[in-house]
Structure 1
Amino acid sequence: MERETAAKNGWRTGESLPVKYDDGETGTLTIGATYEENDLVSTVIAPLSVLDPHDAKPYIPQIFVKMDGGESAAGEQALVDALGQNPAVKAMDKQDIRDEFGGMINMMLSIMYGLLAMALIIAVLGVVNTLAMSVFEPQQEIGMLRAIGLDRRRVKRMIRLEAVVISLFGALVGVAMGSFLGWAIGQILKDSVPGYAMVMPWDRIGIFLLLAALVGVLTAMWPARSTAKLTC
């Protein structure tokens, strides 16, 4: 039995507890040992000799095997051969189990990055639209700036700086909100995830901010060129 469950209910090793099986029959089981919380096993473990009489179709999704000499490719192959090389049975070591769980996490991250790419495209269109409105609506003001000596090069620079400010502001707001949501979700899940620790990827955040500034410069090319063509 899981140690935390036993402690929460005041149960100790050697104590007998009443149980009810899936077929409706009742009985008693003795707590033989307790173990630390483990995501790979259930809260209560009982021998198959006890459960089989009460389960017409037992379902065994996993079997844990300890090999002599520890994990090795030869031992894994011997296990596969002993099972008749059944294609329905998959032998995995600790690293394979980690890779399987990591694969699911990587798939979710790929989906998140795909959504991020879509959001980035929408953000670029939004920046272009904002700059276009700020260019074509105040044409008289821009013409006045040209009349008092602002040349085309400085007009382009002004539009580019405006685009960079808009992009960086949006990126900073997104990073702040994302970090807060990540912290809030972590606080909710940290009790159920042993060894949880929040780590901020500062290098990736810096790269994203640089990309945001680059996107601002690129999206400002067409509005800046159109603005520079305005006459007094």
Structure 2
Amino acid sequence: MGKIWCRRAAAYILRIILPTSLLSQLINSVLYGRSSIDGTMGIWINCVSIIIVCVISACSTRNGQAWSHHFLGLQVVDQYSNLPISGVRMGLREIAHCVDFVPCFIGFLWPLWDTKGQTFADKIMRTTIINSKMNGESSIFSERNVLMATLTFVDGVASGPCKLYDESGNLYFEGYLKNGFREGGGKEYDNKGNVLQKDINVYKDENSRQHRSDCWNF
């Protein structure tokens, strides 16, 4: 937990703290001829600066990663489904980090002992941070905490045994994935657990495969 927290802290400093500081100094220099000013106007300039930086972070987000997350091998995902969050949600999460500053930056330290590794902003936005390249077996749950899939990941891509479940948590497919695609034979089940088909979805070439869903790539 400590290692990933250090990377999270570094990512936030690179993505938010430093750009906000530099931007506010630039605005102050252009408007007032000095890098910092006191009073209400100084507070407003700082607020505008951090909003601009948060918007940039949101716009740069791809697959649950702002630029600093990508650089440091981190990914922001939904705490229930493990799916990468959108850019809009990333922007709102950046703004929600304001609650982590009070009191005494305790929110930023909270992941060090929290079982889910969440800051206060993560708890508000229902997100968590993981290593961007998942390896090993992982279970994906819906927002209602219903098991949706059990997958095996290799360097962030689903490759290996998999089980897929419907919205009620009933197993409906069991087989293998290779590079995110269904590969080879598999079994489909009805909602009572009876086998409906065997050896389905056998693909002979790349062109015959279905489009790979983003949810099998982390």
TM-score computed with the length of structure 1 as normaliser: 0.25
Which fold has the larger relative contact order, with Cα–Cα distance below 8 Å and residues 6 or more apart in sequence?
1
More strand by share: 2
Greater share of residues in helix:
1
TM-score (norm 2): 0.26
